Amino acid sequence: MERLEQGIGHVDKDKKIVIIDSCSSEFNRGSYCYSPYLVYSAAKTMGYDVELFENFSSADIDTLPKADIYLLNLSMYPQIEHVRILLRFLTQVSKNAKVGVFGYNPIAREWSMPQWNLTQEELKLGLTNYINYFDEFNYILLSDCDMHFREYDGQLYPLFTTYGCPNGCAFCPATVQQKRRIVIELPQVYENLKQMHEEGRNYVHYTDEDLLYNTDRAKVICDYMTEIGDFKAIALASRKNLNRFIEKYGNKPLVDAGFMLFEVGLESAEPEFGSTMGSQKSDVTECEELANKSEVPILWLTLSFFPGETIRTLNATGDFLKEYGFGHRVMCDRLATNGTRGSLGQFFQPYHGTPIFKDLEQTGIMLSYRPVRLVPSFIPYSFLRCKIEKVDFNEVDHFYYDLYEVPNLFNYLEPGKTIEQIVAEQNEMNTIDACISLAISARLKVIT
């Protein structure tokens, strides 16, 4: 099959385009994982005959219509095999069709697939208009639909006002795929909010990497939300920019606008370790001050098993979340794995293209080459070689072992033993589950 030129604009309007989003065990969307919907939105807005196949499996290949262009989403590692099969067998559907693979470019590049992308202008068009096609999508709400807290009812709808992130954090593929931030002009943001309000979609999950990156811009968005009224919103923000907003404007604009939660990256509460992960110096004191200052609740996002993780770093994060995190009974069941004391948040994943990727085999063990963010794929030697100094069962909360469906391994915990030794003693338990169990014990300070 022929490879596509970049962008949609060069394609004749009489051509049929089919977008295929292969099924995946990864169900946590964000950033470039929305790519199939953004491509569909851009093509549809430009007037193309386009069809989107969501959650596509290899068994569905006989349902595909003939097309001139096939665009295959490869945003997540578990999609690799499906995309490889499609590249081989799409010729049986339309022999002379052209094909392109989009999503997360480093994966396609590693497996020598025909890379394709929207132009920056087309991507912005997709971001601006995809709210027009909510009713045509089956799964766009997959990871952003619930209200996070048990006390709230309703359904959230994802909304971009910006796309991409220039921060360049060592673990983050989003900044690899789109480092230059695309900004939607404020009049268009207003139009989108107005349209969502008129359609009864008043619960918004802002899918920007940092909604508050520009303090004054964020303030006028808040003012517009307040003017319309009835919004409830969740957004991702950096601690630096949330702190800056509150210092300049106070909490009132955020509360009045309807913000009920900010998701803020803590990553780790051990300052020296946390600083190795991102582009900002990790300042836990700043996080503590922000936790006390913000009138909008904060869900502190954490990352486990980054190279350098130890029992001590897990202890520190557990202590911080004991003081400033949520109780697990407050959160929706699916979200109790983040922002609560014994939860492990997202697991560090070995993504191609990230600055840290090339050195990972020297710093830990690869458990899978098809990483999924909610299951460990990498365990650092720094954690495995940690020696237990003390065992204390006074603060055990068995909820977390049950949440992750792992035994507590209490019978194996002894001062002087290393994590690696305890993992090796498990005859009926895999390395992933054993490390999860021991990391939970470190978060709860069962082991120090």
State whether 204 and 109 are in the same domain.
no
Alpha-carbon distance values, 248 to 251, 280, 285 (Å): 9, 21, 20
Give me the chain's average pLDDT, please: 91
Around 352, how many Cα atoms within 13 Å sit in the side-chain half-sphere?
13
What CATH number is associated with residue 370?
3.80.30.20
pLDDT digit string, tens, across residues 386-404: 999 999 998 788 999 999 9
Integer CA distances (angstroms), 432 to 78, 124, 367, 405, 438, in order: 18, 40, 8, 12, 10
Question: Are 203 and 328 within one domain?
Answer: yes
Specify the pLDDT at position 360: 92
What percent of the chain has pLDDT above 70? Answer: 95
Residue 148 has pLDDT above 90, yes or no: no
187-212 pLDDT, tens per residue? 999 999 999 999 999 999 999 999 99
pTM for the structure as a whole: 0.93
Q: Work out the burial of residue 169: count CB atoms within 10 Å of its CB; fewer than 13 is exposed, 13-18 middle, 19 or more buried.
A: buried
Residue 178 has pLDDT above 60, yes or no: yes
Q: Per residue in 210-230, pLDDT tens?
A: 999 999 999 999 999 999 988
What's the pLDDT band for 141 if we cut at 50, 70, 90? low
**C-alpha 1, offset from chain centre:** 33
Question: In this predicted structure, what is the pLDDT of residue 276?
Answer: 79
pLDDT at 275: 73
Domain annotation covers residue 133 = no
Of the pLDDT bands very low, low, confident and very high (cuts 50, 70, 90), residue 372 is confident
Quick check: 426 pLDDT over 90?
yes
What does DSSP say about strands 259-267 and 232-237: parallel, antiparallel, or unpaired? parallel
Per-residue model confidence as pLDDT tens digits over 63-72: 999 999 999 9
Mean pLDDT across 30-45: 94
- Whether 74 and 208 map to the same domain: the answer is no
The reply to whether 221 falls in a domain is yes
Assess whether 384 and 286 both reside in one domain: yes
Residue with tokens 């309000």: 197
339 located within any domain: yes
In the predicted structure, residue 279 carries a pLDDT above the cut 60: no
- What pLDDT shows up at residue 261? 93
Same domain for 42 and 105, yes or no, is yes
- The reply to whether 172 and 251 lie within a common domain is yes
Q: What is the pLDDT of residue 280?
A: 57
What pLDDT, on the 0 to 100 scale, is given for residue 282?
61
pLDDT exceeds cutoff 90 at 319: yes
Distance, in Å, from the CA atom of 299 to the CA atom of 340, rounded to the nearest integer, reads: 9
pLDDT of residue 394: 86
Specify the number of domains making up the chain: 2
Q: State the Cα–Cα distance between residues 283 and 85, nearest whole angstrom.
A: 47
Tell me: pLDDT of 281 over 60: no
**130 falls within a domain:** no
- The answer on 71 and 20 residing in a single domain is yes
How many CA atoms does the CB half-sphere of 375 hold within 13 Å?
Answer: 18
The pLDDT-based confidence of 328 (bands split at 50, 70, 90) is confident
Confidence category of residue 168, pLDDT binned at 50, 70, 90: confident
Instruction: State yes or no: pLDDT of 74 exceeds 60.
Output: yes
Domain boundary among 76, 91, 123: 123
Domain end, chosen from 61, 92, 123, is at 123
Q: What is the pLDDT of residue 447?
A: 98
Please say which residue of 94, 123, 152 terminates a domain: 123
Q: Give the 3-state secondary structure of residue 276.
A: coil
Straight-line distance from the first to the last Cα atom of the chain, in angstroms, rounded to the nearest whole number: 57
Q: In CATH, what number is assigned to the domain containing residue 71?
A: 3.40.50.2300
Least confident of 101-115, 131-145, 337-351, 434-448: 131-145
Q: pLDDT at residue 143 above 60?
A: no
Q: Answer yes or no: is 134 within a domain.
A: no
Are 148 and 282 contained in the same domain? yes
Quick one: 79 and 150 in the same domain? no
pLDDT value of residue 169? 86
Q: What is the spatial distance between Cα 259 and Cα 193, in angstroms, rounded to a whole number?
A: 14
Do strands 182-183 and 162-163 pair parallel, antiparallel, or not at all (unpaired)? antiparallel
- H/E run at residue 262: strand 259-267
Q: Does residue 136 form part of some domain? A: no
Distance CA 297, CA 279 (A): 24
Domain enclosing residue 44, as ranges: 2-123
For residues 372-398, give the mean pLDDT.
93
Q: Do 13 and 78 lie in a common domain?
A: yes
Is 143 or 311 the better-scoring residue by pLDDT?
Answer: 311
Report the half-sphere exposure of 107 (CA within 13 A, side-chain side). 26
Q: Is residue 312 in some structural domain?
A: yes
Residue 361 counted as domain residue: yes
Token pair of 92 as six digits: 């049986």
The span from the CA of 361 to the CA of 357, in Å, is 8
Classify the C-alpha dihedral 48-115-350-276 as positive or negative.
negative
> Do 78 and 168 reside in the same domain of the chain?
no
pLDDT at 192: 97
- Are 97 and 208 found together in one domain? no
pLDDT at 152 over 80: no
Q: Average pLDDT, stretch 12-38? A: 90
For the cut 70, the answer to whether the pLDDT of residue 329 exceeds it is yes
Identify which of 250, 257, 249, 189 has the alpha carbon closest to the alpha carbon of residue 223. 257
Confirm if 328 and 313 have CB atoms less than 8 A apart.
no
Q: Which pLDDT belongs to residue 382? A: 97
